Amino acid sequence: MLDERIARFAPRQSKGISYREAGAGPALVLLHGIGSSSASWLFQLESLAGYRLIAWDAPGYGASAFLAMAEPQPADYAQALHEFLERLLLKDVVLVGNSLGCLMALWRDQTFQALALTVLALVLYLCLVRGIAPNRSATSRMRKVFRRAGCRHRKDRPCPRTRLGARAKDLR
């Protein structure tokens, strides 16, 4: 059943990085945790309407190629993320990170914040607090966080240029 559902979001490739995409609107890039893949964002891909959802497989995860170095550092993943976002021609984006994905988003933002890509918000979704993967209730909590950050999917009202560090209590 899960395999059939995730198959609706066929993996795409961008220079060795695999990703799944759904919807249209403001871009939300979904960054999975350690030992996971883009498939862990299935519930969001199915139900977060009004956004362009891009769930990547980090280098070495899912169908993505490994990084070239023997012992990659956080900055290497940040570089891979930055190059991936540039290849997709994204100018404004919300990075949504779960666990390891949070670290990648923070390193990317810290390292490349002065460049043309604008990170509208960092939503740091730490599922480890509850020991669960992103699911339906997480999707509704994410919607609330996006609303609090001022992100709307209305064309006449774009997201403000803010940063948001969502704590676990904000997501309940």
Beta bridge partner(s), residue 68: none
Q: Buried b / exposed e across 36-54, counting CB within 10 Å, b at 16+?
A: bbbbbbbbbbbebebbbbb
CATH of domain 2-171: 3.40.50.1820
Q: Distance between CA atoms of 26 and 151, rounded to whole angstroms?
A: 9
CB 111 within 8 A of CB 75: yes
Closest by CA position to 98, among listed 6, 148, 29: 29
pLDDT in tens, 108-131: 777 776 554 555 555 555 433 333
pLDDT band at 139 (very low <50, low <70, confident <90, very high): low
pLDDT number for residue 30: 93
pTM comes to: 0.71
pLDDT in tens, 84-108: 999 999 878 888 888 888 888 877 7
Q: How far is CA 138 from CA 24, 29, 37, 69, 151, in A?
A: 20, 16, 17, 35, 17
